[in-house]
Amino acid sequence: MSDIRVSVAQLSRYITTAMQALGLPDADAATVGRLMAQADLQGSDGHGVIRLPQYSRRILAGGVNVKPNIRVVQERAAMALIDGDNGMGHLVMQQATELAIQKARTCGIAWVGSRFSNHAGPASLYARMPLAHDMLGLYFAVGNANHLPPWGGLDMLLSTNPIAVAIPTAEEAPIVLDMATTVAAYGKVKAKAQRGEMMPEGWMIDRQGQPLLDPKRSEEGFLMPIGGYKGYGLSLVVGLLAGTLNGAAMGRSVIDFNHDDHSVTNTGQAIAVIDPAAFGDVGEFKTRVDQLVRELRGSERMPGVERIWLPGEQSEAKRTAYERDGIPIAPALLTQLNTVSAQLNVPALLDTAA
């Protein structure tokens, strides 16, 4: 059976209704619905509506606070630390990013960390937010389950710990790097399992060091770091910045939210915002970025390579295509969403007004 297509407005409305039924205030439900739908719109299908069944389980089990008091607990001119009060990560990071933008406008650069947050979707959602203000965004997070051992070890003490960077341009698509410190994010493993597809070799290995290709057997092994020991080091450093620095979970204190719906995860994240106006004329900066983009794209290619892509271009292309044609929803995922709809007594996705 082929994928079903839905509009971003329909998907956002459906998620919002589900979040309202789960007890989130209307404004918070709308924020979560919009951000989750935006994840699917840009092709981050491992971090969008596919997470709704899991979010629903955790909320119903009491693992997430639906009416949090998200607040600043430490602050200086160019930094702040936010306590998310175990609220939805989307709400925590929306507030953190807005505060970082405000501070960067005054100081030129700002760093806002969070603790007692939760999974917040793809990293690029928050790195991209400063683009609307002609600013650069950098996002860091501790993953919500450990799938990576220290280099040469077997105990999974680290996570995918993603990084995202977004840089504004004048005419070209913005530069948006969104990457896990592992070869693949665990959300992509989940998406493969959802679609009944095998993983490429190199994503995971088993405890004997052999390639693990079946995503349904992912618990028998662990993810591979990018660049070998360098990726392990990068995962560690990101975790220290986004987790340990904020008083959030790292190492053995990370709660595996795939298996534990009740415990507070104390997820740590951080957003840094840079205002290029502090360095000179913003228009000139964006024009120079455009020039570099065109130089890279127009450079000599290896045989058989049709195009040199810049980070974020393929997501931008998906965003354009999905806005035109609709967001694809796999039949297996639709079945799961229908179950959630019945549990929450809300209209099914396909019955939600477009």
The yes-or-no verdict on residue 186 having pLDDT over 90 is no
**CATH fold label, 1-60+313-354:** Hypothetical Oxidoreductase Yiak; Chain: A, domain 1 (1.10.1530)
Share of the chain above pLDDT 90, in %: 93
pLDDT digits (tens, 9 = 90+) for 245-267: 999 999 999 999 999 999 999 99
Residue 194 is predicted with a pLDDT of 81
Whether 318 and 43 have beta carbons less than 8 Å apart is answered as yes
* Gap between the Cα atoms of 318 and 312, Å rounded: 10
pLDDT, mean over the chain: 96
Listed residue (179, 184, 178) closest to 204, CA to CA? 184
The yes-or-no verdict on residue 215 having pLDDT over 80 is yes
pLDDT digits (tens, 9 = 90+) for 134-159: 999 999 999 999 999 999 999 999 99
Residue 353 is predicted with a pLDDT of 83
Region(s) of the chain under CATH 3.30.1370.60: 68-182+225-297
The yes-or-no verdict on residue 191 having pLDDT over 90 is no
* Assigned architecture for domain 68-182+225-297: 2-Layer Sandwich (3.30)
Q: Per-residue pLDDT averaged across 295-311, rounded?
A: 97
* Gap between the Cα atoms of 79 and 246, Å rounded: 12
Q: pLDDT-derived band of residue 53, with 50, 70 and 90 as boundaries?
A: very high
Torsion angles phi and psi, residue 338, rounded to 5: -65, -35
The yes-or-no verdict on residue 317 having pLDDT over 90 is yes
Determine the Cα angle at 184 with ends 182 and 189, to 5°.
130
Whether 113 and 270 have beta carbons less than 8 Å apart is answered as yes
12: helix, strand or coil:
helix
Residue 165 is predicted with a pLDDT of 98
* Gap between the Cα atoms of 309 and 258, Å rounded: 34
- Residue type at 345 in one-letter notation: N
Torsion angles phi and psi, residue 173, rounded to 5: -65, 140
The yes-or-no verdict on residue 9 having pLDDT over 80 is yes
* Gap between the Cα atoms of 143 and 254, Å rounded: 8
Listed residue (54, 9, 53) closest to 33, CA to CA? 9
pLDDT digits (tens, 9 = 90+) for 86-110: 999 999 999 999 999 999 999 999 9
Residue 190 is predicted with a pLDDT of 83
Q: What is the DSSP letter of 49?
A: G
Model-wide pTM > 0.85: yes
Residue 344 is predicted with a pLDDT of 98
β 109-117/79-83 pair status: parallel
The yes-or-no verdict on residue 1 having pLDDT over 80 is no
The yes-or-no verdict on residue 354 having pLDDT over 80 is no
Region(s) of the chain under CATH 1.10.1530.10: 1-60+313-354
* Gap between the Cα atoms of 192 and 215, Å rounded: 6
